[in-house]
A and B are shown apart, each in its own frame.
Chain A
Amino acid sequence: MEAFGLLLHGFAVLLTWKTLVLMMVGLVLGIFVGVLPGLGGPNGVAILLPLTFTMDPTSAIVMLSCIYWGALFGGAITSILFNIPGEAWSVATTFDGYPMAQQGRAAEALTAAFTSSFIGSLVAVLLITFLAPMISSFALKFGPPEFFAVYLLTFCSFVGLGREAKHKTLISMSLGLLLAGIGMDTVSGQLRMTFGSSELLRGINFLVAVIGLFGISEILLTMEERLALRGHAASISLRVVLSVWKDLPKYWVTLLRSSFIGCWLGITPGGAIAASFMGYNLAKRFSKDPESFGKGRIEGVFAPETAAHASGTSALLPMLALGIPGSGTAAILLGGLMVWGLNPGPLLFVEHKDFVWGLIASMYLGNVVGLVLVLTTVPIFASILRVPFAAVAPMIVASCAIGAYAIQNAMFDIWLMLGFGVVGYVFKKIGIPLAPFTLALVLGSRAEDAFRLSMIGSGGELKVFWSNGLVGSITTLAIVLLFWPAIDGLLARIGWMQRSRTISR
């Protein structure tokens, strides 16, 4: 029950007026970016990150994570009222959410979405509270080989399990790792890939790249589309909220199943989108009448929203415990940690107790406050969409530039941000995924350090990655995941052959 005591301490850290105000500001900003077309979780966090540079780490992470919760809540508003998924993982919410709004049950659908988001996050936060300290204390025994094996696992699972074309994931990841290597080599102190440029000496800052890749490119992409909107207005009355809540126990199986799927997929990298679809599909399959899904069934809102939020939240677990982000947004938060001078990884739980438990406590509090906030203010936020994009776009561009400059006080970074904006735009259009790039850029130098330190330790023997049971099984698992599509195909073929043999008998 040590975790419980520490959590209470976390609440004590949090319950100051300043933090509570920051929390509200973060939530409002988050819902704002979640509702705006073309902006979502990672973009919002990336753009608003510079606001936090001069705060102390605890206030900063509380505000940023609240921006993230807010963005998650905000995505549901546009999905249900306007049939526009603010995020890829809100797509499944539109299947039943929008039909409900068309039938005049918008308030019900919104309440269901917010409540299930809340439940999903809550389950994931509970998991973090009890599992993260255990994992991190276990990881304290990790040496460089173990860490490298875990990094390798992360990279390999992206390539092997990702749905994009394999060579594109590989391109995106190797490019990220390469760019992470530009500048001073941390082990030998030698310069690499700088070509004599003093600007490149600093290396390419992760956050500058992210602001360009997600912020600027998103603006360019959004402009391509028709920005006209037609949607429903809704206000939520207490009566509707209570009637939805009264029915909640009926759906406990769906909620529990989706939370479980979400947590599971959230911890493995890149899972939120898959989680929401899987939650929806399983709810449909196990339902007594699957035909009614897609026509405005409240379970069709519960299932994907719970799963998406559970996975969005549990993506923070590996980031806190191991320093490995489970999603794009978690990667940006990790970048933030470094800016505030914190070294992500298992030591965080030992050296910065206040910070970690403040963050975990803020997940509980942020979700409760967020739920109340969205339930009461939906009409206001829905009308944000009336603000013309021509006013929003230049403000976002200016904010991005402020953010990019503030990181290292370098004009060069503003140009770099613009360059990454173009790269992000082109990559997104030809289907090169950006998440592996982001992950590689933030983990690149640490993965390389871990590899080279293991090599120095072992005298250049690659066998060190199989030197004990733990590191050996992680490394093997990584390689299996890398070749998973081939292995899966092979297994399927064997199964098919056996089946055809039994049939022929």
Chain B
Amino acid sequence: MSQTDLEIVVDDPTAPEENSPSVTSSGTVEIIVCLLLLALAAILGYDNWRTGASWDSTGPEPGYFPFYLCLVLGGGSLYGLIAALLARRGAAETFVTRAQARRVMAVFVPTLLFCLVTQFLGLYVASFLLIAGFMRAIGKIALWKSLVTAFLFTAIMFVTFDIAFDVIMPKGPLEAAFGY
């Protein structure tokens, strides 16, 4: 059996370019994340201290465990913050390039819209719109293919979850019109 030639080839026409400029460096993101985590540790730590974080006759109070975890989290983030600030002087590592960021946003924004639409029109309508829209707009796939795929997927999900397994999904006006 000799098959040294490549036989499966899939292209990616919208791939991010290699030489795209950096949006931000990993160091900067690390600093931001550590600051956010520090803030979170402070807020949660305060809340637990208010709940009661001392040690009474029956052992620790409800806030005891989480309070000290907040200290650990805060300590870890502080260390990370200092380490990231010190490392800044070295060569900056790219967190994400502009082309990559564009592609990530191309998924993230539709996902965000999908969640929003789910809240008002129900999950099935939102899924249909997401799949059809994404395939057409981002994947540049023929309109009829996108619509058929989206419809089939949504229909299969509906039958599987709502009818066969009785797992009830959020629904909107369209399903209501059909009596579901």
Q: List residues of chain A with CB under 8 Å of any chain B CB.
A: 50-51, 53-55, 81-82, 102-107, 165, 167-168, 170-171, 174-175, 177-178, 181, 185, 187-188, 190-193, 195, 216, 219-220, 223-234, 237, 240, 382-383, 385-386, 388-391, 393-395, 397-399, 401-402, 405-406, 409, 411, 414-415, 418, 421-422, 425-427, 429-430, 432, 448, 451-452, 455-456, 459-460
Residues B8 and A411 in contact, CB atoms below 8 Å apart: no
The minimal Cβ–Cβ distance linking B43 to chain A, given in whole angstroms, is 8
Residues A405 and B107 in contact, CB atoms below 8 Å apart: no
Residues A185 and B62 in contact, CB atoms below 8 Å apart: yes
Residues A395 and B104 in contact, CB atoms below 8 Å apart: no
The minimal Cβ–Cβ distance linking B4 to chain A, given in whole angstroms, is 5
Residues of B near A81 (CB, < 8 A) are 8
Residues 43-72 of B, flagged 1 when their CB comes within 8 A of A and 0 if not, give: 010011001000101111111011001101
User: Using a Cβ–Cβ cut-off of 8 Å, how many residues does chain B contribute to the interface with A?
Assistant: 82
What would 10 more interface pairs be, CB under 8 Å, given A391-B141, A394-B135? A102-B4, A178-B44, A226-B16, A227-B12, A390-B138, A390-B139, A397-B130, A398-B154, A402-B169, A452-B65
CA distance A377 to B138 in the complex (A): 31
Residues B8 and A104 in contact, CB atoms below 8 Å apart: no
Q: List residues of chain B with CB under 8 Å of any chain A CB.
A: 1-4, 6-12, 15-16, 26, 29-30, 33, 37, 40, 44, 47-48, 51, 55, 57-63, 65-66, 69-70, 72-73, 75-77, 79-80, 83, 95-96, 100, 103-104, 106-108, 110-112, 114-115, 118-119, 123, 126-127, 130-131, 133-135, 138-141, 149, 153-154, 157, 160-161, 165-170
Beyond A178-B66, A386-B10, whether A411 also contacts B119 by CB under 8 A is yes
Residues of A near B160 (CB, < 8 A) are 51
Residues of A near B140 (CB, < 8 A) are 390
CA distance A395 to B95 in the complex (A): 27
CA distance A170 to B34 in the complex (A): 13
Residues B114 and A398 in contact, CB atoms below 8 Å apart: yes
Q: Can you list 24 A-B contacts (CB < 8 A)? A: A51-B165, A82-B8, A102-B4, A104-B3, A167-B83, A175-B37, A187-B62, A190-B51, A192-B62, A192-B66, A224-B100, A226-B12, A226-B16, A227-B12, A230-B6, A232-B3, A389-B12, A390-B134, A401-B115, A405-B170, A422-B108, A426-B33, A430-B30, A451-B65
